[in-house]
Amino acid sequence: MSSGHCFISYSNRDAKDFGPQLSLELEGEHPYIETWYDKKNIPAGQKWDSLISKAIGDCKCFLFVVTDDSKVEDSICMRELSLALSYKKPIFPICLQPDVEFPWRIRDFQRIDFCESRRKGMAQLRLAIQRIDSPEGQLDALKARFSAAERDLNNANKEEDKLRIKAELDELTEQIKRQEEIVRNPKAAEEKTEKNIQSGLERERQPEKPVAGKTSTRFINTPPFIAPTY
């Protein structure tokens, strides 16, 4: 699997045991899946807000444990969720309580159900995380980022924000086209990439052509030679 950790967001009130246990199971079974959560990764005395912000920005996906306390609008978990959404990270809501209502911002996201069977939920979660690294998973992530950017554009008021988001959409459009090509024909895409790499290496091997400097002759007006007198 590619590098990058899975950020676990959970409430210390009604899921304090589940969060650490989830981390242990993801890291302890094969294949190893790196995780990040507050009690494990924040040293004592450190400012948790900056560390959490960086951890979410660097994560490969965001695991949101949905419980009655975590979905409270002013909770730390919801602030973490907002940050993950702004970074356009893949988000997997984990259903831990059968009757809990999901926050509207992630209501349509693929949810992982741990209510019926913990074993089944863990297997589903592992497959979802592993899919992130596949060509299809990367295409899904790009399309999700594109949809999020479209929503940002509709909500943007400042012209500078609109221009920035439009540039992002143009770049995502090109990335989606390239990724769709990889999904359709991975072998051809791999050969094309290798060809581009070899072409780049060949250009680097070419000796630089010497730049012919311009020569110029300057005539300096000096007085005629005068022999010394003794």
Read off the pLDDT band of 224 (50, 70, 90): very low
What is the pLDDT averaged over residues 114-135? 94
Please return the burial class of 201, using the count of CB atoms within 10 Å of its CB with bins 0-12, 13-18 and 19+: exposed
C-alpha to C-alpha distance for 113 and 121, rounded to whole angstroms: 5
Residue length, the chain? 230
What is the pLDDT averaged over residues 10-18? 94
Residue 212, pLDDT score: 53
Alpha helices in 87-158 (DSSP H): 118-131, 135-155
Better-predicted residue by pLDDT, 188 or 82:
82
Query: Are 9 and 80 spatial neighbours (Cβ–Cβ below 8 Å)?
Result: yes
